[in-house]
Structure 1
Amino acid sequence: MCGIAGIISPFDRQRDLEQMLELQKHRGPDNTGKFSDSGFAYLGHNRLSIIDLNDASNQPFSDNSGRYQLSFNGEIYNYLELREELKPFYEFKTESDTEVLMAAYIKFGQDFLDKLNGMFSFAIWDTKEKFLFAARDRFGVKPFYYSKNAEEFFYASEIKSITGILRNNEPSLKVWANYFAYGSYGLPSETFYQHIFQLPAGHFLTFKNGELKIQQWYDFVENVQKVKVYDNIEEAKAKYLSLLKDSISLRFRADVEVGFNISGGVDSSLLLALVNQYQEKEKISAYTFYSDDERYDELPWVKKMIGQTGNPLSKIRLDVNEVKELSRTTSIIQDEPFGGFPTIAYSKIFRQARQDNVLVLLDGQGMDEQWAGYDYYRGGDHSNNIQGQRRNFSPFKINCLSKELMKFAEKPNYPKPFDNQLQNLQYRDLFYTKIPRALRFNDRISMAASTELREPFLDYRLVEFAFAQSENFKIKGSIHKYLLRELVKELVPLGISYAPKRPLQTPQREWLGDELSVWVEAQLNRIAESQYADWFDLDELQKEWLKYKEGERHSSFHIWQWVNASFLLYQ
């Protein structure tokens, strides 16, 4: 896991490249590498050593001929299998997945992307043709941001690396308006900055002679239609379990210590059961967070699960007194709005893991989207209710936005490529709402601690398989993730396979309105005194804040939006 950065430019940009790398050094503290094709391209890399710790695998990485230069962020989990396939065509000099990626590109061209099982964003510079090829993994686990002007192209793993040298951080009024009005975090190519874009998941780009081209390489809809749909649930469970075991086995490939994150739900219990099949359980460290509030904490469930397996457990507590400073620092890390106190609490896990010298963590992201785990899936929600709130209440306070800002708001209208409501909602959450924002939040907080996060449940084979299966395997009566719960019941006899989903994980509602109310008011005052005050109807904002303090707390999302914005817009 690493950070990549680069500039394609006819000008001398060497010092700017160095500044870009310094701004995201936390992503790769083990080595900083640079390559210059003067007058054409400047490539850089921040390395976090996970596979093949030898210096020979430092990047930018050159092929044997010296023609190609690669800067790569991520992991290719099936690199050993690909290496065997490529041995007749390429003489390997390292044991790294980086060199396998390079060799596959040289052998197969852009078609090699379909062969990769992993999380990745990378850029390859062809010194002969003066041509840049860059790509991003199927679900966008790893980031790729870019900006372009008339003669130059800039890219990096984090937005701050680009804005830091271009000195251009103009906000995108459309994206900010949609965030406040509809809870949208932007479309797959958008960011909260007017001149910064992201390469969408499952796409690649080319840049040559000042011309940028972007093309989709992963067609999820087409792939799902090729998946076998099972009539027999026992056969489906067996097939899915086989894929899941292989996914977890691949993600244990590392030359450093691996641990995992755990909560009290069905997804974590399944992860717990399976990771212990690959190493002695006393060697696999588990991490969880809590806040000492029994209304929200999942710690009792976690302890019950761990009590059966004996894994060493690190319990990380979020204290209300930490929230002020962590909100500020996490906002800087994220560059864009993030999800609130759960993200802050989660960030503490990675810092502790790093202190424990556990550099790779697995977690259970992705099961709810592939097996229909959210309540609104059962309701056939046709709306663009991104937050998944109940229909008779909106967490968004449009009345607090100025008419001027609302002119830029456009209610998101997501594609519906399938012939049924359930799959269209799942598709929305996979590619437009829940998964993209969670992956972004988690990438930033894990990399800020110089640790790597792996998502075994987002193996594309698992997602495609689960997505294609019958609705009856996903929702049965009032039971969501039905097949998954039946599978867990056989592996983890803890009575947890039918535990209810807990949507809230911290006392954010209470803390914002009570212990942190003075701090919240200070952030609202910052908004009122800023150059962006005209985005809001400040009288309405104060009225909503007063109602919240007095107990109208159906949701705390709008309060958090304002607090988070005060750090991002007014620093």
Structure 2
Amino acid sequence: MCGIAGIIGTNYNKEDLEKMLESIKHRGPDASGIYQNGDCLLGHNRLSIIDLSTNANQPFSDTTGRFQLIFNGEIYNYKELKAEIGDRYNFRTSSDTEVLLASYIIFGKDCLEKLNGMFAFAIWDKKKKELFAARDRFGVKPFYYYKDAESFIFASEIKAIHRFVEKNPDEKTWANYFCYGSYGSPETTFYKDIFQLQAGYYLEFKDGKLQKHQWYDFEKRIKEIPSDHGSDSEVKRKYLALLEDSIKLRFRADVEVGFNLSGGVDSSLLLALVNHLHPTHNIKAYTFYTGDERYDELPWVEKMIKRTGNSLEKVKLSPEEVPELSERISFYQDEPYGGIPTLAYSKIFQKASKDGVKVLLDGQGMDEQWAGYDYYGRATNELIQGSGNVSPLRTGVLNKGFMKLAEKPQYPELFSSVIQNLQYRDLFNTKLPRALRFNDRISMAYSTELREPFLDYRLVEMAFALPDQMKIRGGVHKYMLREIVKEYVPFEIAEAPKRALQTPQREWLGEELRGFVNQGIEKLLNSEFSNWFDSKALRKEWEAYQNGKQENSFYVWQWVNLGLLI
């Protein structure tokens, strides 16, 4: 896990790239390197996970010096790929970095189909004066870029690009955020002229021209899967075998591996299987809590730990920490993020980093592939989970001209199943992309790597392609998964309904953090963004919230979040 940055264009030098790398040093404090070839500058900050030797530092060159690679992520199946390549490449290290470069040299763009991992990388071809860059199937690792007539600038985080590109908000994206709860599209960001390379895409840049291509066609992959999935027992057996293989691959590291544990089905199953497959590791588990038993998942976590015997680190978030912590996390996020639960989750990575644990596993991705969210059963288009009958938004506080910029997001409906269309939306447009962004930034803020075994593309494709009744049966969500889980986790966890991982955000914002919110709102209404709002209406809504109208706190956090980012 690392940070990458690059500039192709005139009028830039190594000192400029050093500034970019310095802004994202937290992503890789173990080593830093720069490569320059004419108008091409490539930079890398390394977090050493596999092959800790300096031989694996980046930018990484092949033996001829023609190709230079900078890479953020992990190629989990690098050992299998290395064996497949064999003597067609003369390997000098035991790193997945070198296997990635060798794969590109041997297989060209087709190497992407062979990779099982999370990645954003760029390769400079010195002979052709051409840049090739790619992003993993689900966009676990970030790739941002800016292009004008003279240059192409890219990096793992937006703040690095803002070293040279003016920080101007994209008002339409912000309007959609306040009007619809949207966090943007797979290509856009909250800033003008700064874009993302889409998940499952690659790009080529040569002679000032940029071309992008989709390399991972999820719709095609799903429609090629045979409709005869077999019996329930066959599906369980196949899925469990894939899951065990995914865990084995993601346990490859030359540093200690830890585990993020909630009290839910997904992470409990994952921990049970980790212990089953690695019985001698006694992996350390981490969980957060706030001391409010209405929200804390400690009872379920402790039930699971009692069964597995793992050591458990309980990390507490108190309301007094929120103001300073929210400022810090806003710096790392660059864009709006998910409120106090994200702050609480960040404390796990902070603690793990202090403990010397560089890699953490978690259960992200299971709900999207198994239709775990409650609204899948209602087939609604909710973007904000848990909002119930009360809108999580307050468009009445917005300036009418600003509101007109908003355009309700439309999502493709590629499948005959309504549930699959919602799953596809969540996988590629809404829930998963924003969760991956939140989690990448908070793990990297503390120089730790987050791995998600459930996001192995083989698992996602298999579960997604199953008939609806294997995902939701008799009103039970993630039905088939729960059948698998029963063999590994306590009954109370296996049968428990989906619970959003939460904190007392509603109560804290209106009570303990009232002064913090007041300060954020006043900062917002006295800033250059004040013309987005009707200040009188906003203050009236905030007053109503303080007086007990607290069914939802998302809109309050939106105001505070913008205040933190400006």
Q: Is the 8 A contact 1:7 1:13 kept in 2?
A: no
Post-superposition Cα deviations, 1:155-188, rounded to whole Å, max 9, x if no partner, equal: 000000000233x110000110000110000000
Q: Which residue identity is paired with 2:203?
A: L
Q: Offset at 1:280?
A: 3.1
**Contact 1:282 1:310 (8 Å CA) reproduced:** no
Is 2:304–2:490's contact at 8 Å kept on the other side of the alignment? Answer: no
Structure 1: gaps spanning 5 or more residues: none
C-alpha displacement at 1:546, in angstroms?
1.1
Aligned match for 1:554, one of 551, 556, 566: 551
SS in structure 1 of the partner of residue 240 of structure 2: helix
State the match for 2:8 in structure 1. Answer: 8
Residue 18 in structure 1 maps to residue 46 in structure 2:
no
Partner of 1:222: 220
Q: Say which SS state the counterpart of residue 35 (structure 1) adopts.
A: strand
Pairwise mapping of residues 104-503 of structure 1 onto structure 2 (< 5 A)? Answer: 104-166=103-165, 168-229=166-227, 230-280=229-279, 283-381=282-380, 383=381, 385-389=382-386, 392-503=389-500
CA distance in 2, matches of 1:561, 1:203: 31
In 2, distance between residues paired with 1:561 and 1:123? Answer: 34
Report 1:472-551 matches (<5 A): 472-551=469-548
Cα RMSD after superposing both structures: 1.0
CA distance in 2, matches of 1:433, 1:558: 18
**What is the deviation of 1:438?**
0.3
Distance across 1 between alignment mates of 2:140 and 2:94: 24
Match of 2:70 in 1: 71
Supply the AA of the counterpart residue of 1:117.
N
**DSSP-derived class of the 1:213 partner:** strand
Shift of 1:568: 0.7
Aligned-partner SS, 1:567: helix
SS in structure 2 of the partner of residue 7 of structure 1: strand
Distance 1:390 1:319 in 2: 24
**Secondary structure in 1 aligned to 2:87?**
coil
Using the alignment, how far apart are the partners of 2:352 and 2:306 within structure 1? 21
**CA shift for structure 1 position 282:** 5.7
TM-score, normalised by the number of residues in structure 1: 0.98
* Partners of 1:507 and 1:194 in 2: CA distance: 34
Counterpart contact for 1:386–1:433, Cα < 8 Å: yes
Secondary structure, in 3 states, of the residue corresponding to 2:494? coil
Measured in 1, the distance between the counterparts of 2:280 and 2:375 equals 37
Displacement of 1:527: 1.1
How far the C-alpha of 1:552 sits from its partner, in A, is: 1.1
What per-residue deviation string (whole Å, max 9, x for no partner) do you get for residues 390-443 of structure 1?
563311111111012112101000111111210000000000000000000000
1:388 partner letter: Q
* 1:374 alignment partner AA: Y
User: SS where residue 502 of structure 2 aligns?
Assistant: coil
Q: Deviations over 1:182-201 (max 9, x none)?
A: 00000000000002111010
Mapped partners of 1:551, 1:476: distance in 2: 38
Q: Secondary structure at the match of 2:492?
A: coil
Rounded to whole Å, the distance in 2 between the matches of 1:447 and 1:390 is 30
Task: List aligned pairs for 1:17-96, cutoff 5 A.
Answer: 17-38=17-38, 40-96=39-95
Q: Distance in 1 between matches of 2:489 and 2:145?
A: 45
Question: 1:395 corresponds to which letter in structure 2?
Answer: P
Pairwise CA distance, 1:151: 1.4
Alpha-carbon distance between aligned partners in 1 of 2:497 and 2:261, rounded to the nearest angstrom = 16
Secondary structure class of the residue paired with 2:175: helix
Residue 228 of structure 1 and its aligned partner are, at CA, apart by 3.7
Task: Name the residue aligned to 2:97.
Answer: 98
User: SS at the partner of 1:502?
Assistant: coil
Deviations 1:444-467 (A, max 9, x none): 000010000000000000000000
C-alpha distance in structure 2 between counterparts of 1:13 and 1:7, whole Å:
9
SS at match of 1:143: coil
| SS of match in other structure, 1:560 | helix
**In structure 1, how many angstroms separate the alpha carbons of the residues matched to 2:492 and 2:177?**
39
Partner Cα distance (2:280, 2:465) in 1: 34
State how far apart, in whole Å, the 1-side matches of 2:390 and 2:509 are.
20
Gaps of 5+ in 2: none
- CA distance in 2 between partners of 1:153 and 1:471 (Å): 44
How many Å separate the matches in 1 of 2:506 and 2:226? 44
State the distance in 2 between where 1:483 and 1:281 align: 29
**Contact 1:389-1:395 at 8 Å conserved across structures:** no
The answer on whether the counterparts of 1:511 and 1:517 sit within 8 Å (CA) in structure 2 is: yes
Q: Percent identity over the alignment?
A: 61
Matched residues, number = 565
Give the letter for the 1:127 counterpart.
K
Q: CA–CA distance in 2 between the matches of 1:228 and 1:163? A: 47
Structure 1 contact 489–495 (Cα < 8 Å) conserved: no
User: Which AA in structure 1 matches 2:116?
Assistant: N
Deviations along 1:124-162, one digit per CA (max 9) or x if unpaired, are 000111000000000000000000110100000000000
Output the amino acid matched with 2:16: D
Q: Distance in 2 between matches of 1:365 and 1:501?
A: 14
CA distance in 1, matches of 2:385, 2:423: 12
Q: Take 1:282 and 1:485, find their aligned partners in 2: how far apart are those partners?
A: 26
Q: Decide whether the 8 Å contact of 1:293 with 1:507 is kept in 2.
A: yes
SS in 1 for 2:440: helix
Q: In terms of mean alpha carbon deviation, does 245-254 or 492-501 score higher?
A: 492-501
Q: Say whether the 8 Å CA contact 2:73–2:117 is kept in structure 1.
A: yes
Rate the CA distance shift 1:526–1:556 in 2: closer, same or farther, 3 A: same
Q: Secondary structure at the match of 2:186?
A: coil
1:522 positional shift: 1.2
Matched to 2:153, the amino acid is F
Please identify, of 279-288 and 75-84, the stretch whose mean Cα deviation from structure 2 is larger: 279-288
Asked if structure 2 preserves the Cα contact closer than 8 Å seen for 1:378 and 1:475, the reply is: yes
User: What is the rounded CA distance, in whole Å, between the counterparts of 2:506 and 2:455 in structure 1?
Assistant: 30
- SS of 1:164's equivalent in the other structure is coil
C-alpha separation in 1, matches of 2:198 and 2:482: 32
